[in-house]
A and B are shown apart, each in its own frame.
Chain A
Amino acid sequence: EIVMTQSPATLSVSPGDRATLSCRASQSVSNNLAWYQQKPGQAPRVLIYGASTRATGIPARFSGSGSGTEFTLTISSLQSEDFAVYYCQQYNTWPPLTFGGGTKVEIK
């Protein structure tokens, strides 16, 4: 099973600032990685797939990068609606599909 590790667990950021979230895989997942955003009481929503491709309707301030075992989600200028929990998910080697533990982006 591929273990996904996200850091930090919590990120305190001021509105308008840049946020950088990390995700590490225990073995290479190539570029088969997705990022999701989840707000309280809501289902997750896909932001990025293929490590760097924005999903339909996702603003350009969200960008993904990386391949192999190291990945980054960057939010270039945080808006109020971006404060949420973010999860990475690998789909290169499955079953099982595996998610990271999440990074909570909170208002500083």
Chain B
Amino acid sequence: QVLLVESGGGVVQPGRSLRLSCAASGFTFSSYAIHWVRQAPGKGLEWVAFISYDGDKIYYADSVKGRFTISRDTSKSTLYLQMNRLRTEDTAVYYCARVLIPALPWFDYWGQGTLVTVSS
């Protein structure tokens, strides 16, 4: 079955960096676009970033542009989110989520999420 498993979350000080991973299985990873979506504690969902199936197209939310980098390693069936210059407002559960049709990105599968806490 389709599985997305995030890891790499934790507690980090403001201004520091963290790299999240999303390990995919149960489907052909190289054929699907993947997004990151986050959720601050007690709040709603916020889209963060997108990468196309081949890595050629990448988009970011304005709130993370210039600080976060999304990438993928097809050989490892893994998606990454490199987060630099972290701010307290980046505190959230980070989900990776798959889309069936890249041009119509509704999310058919989500990971369980990994919590990032930015605090001094």
Contacts and interface: CB of A to CB of B under 8 A. Distances in A.
A43 B108 contact: no
B61 interface: yes
A49 B106 contact: yes
A91 B103 CA distance: 8
Contacts, number: 55
Main secondary structure of the interface of B (DSSP, over half): strand
Contact of B44 (A42, A49, A99): A99
Interface stretch (B7-15, B18-26, B45-53, B78-86): B45-53
A88 to B, nearest CB: 10
A43 B111 CA distance: 7
Contacts of A45: 110
Interface residues of A, number: 22
B112 A89 contact: no
B32 interface: no
B107 A46 contact: yes
Interface in A54-108: 55, 87, 89, 91, 94-102
A26 B111 CA distance: 29
A43 B46 CA distance: 13
Sorted nearest first, the 8 A-B pairs with minimum C-beta distance are A34-B106, A43-B110, A97-B47, A95-B59, A99-B45, A49-B106, A91-B105, A101-B44
* Residues of B in contact with A, size category: 20 to 34
Nearest to A34: B106
B107 A44 contact: yes
A32 interface: yes
A43 B48 CA distance: 16
A44 to B, nearest CB: 6
Identify which of A42, A55, A89 gathers the most chain B CB atoms within 10 Å of its CB.
A89
Given A34-B107, A46-B107, A102-B44, A97 B35 contact: yes
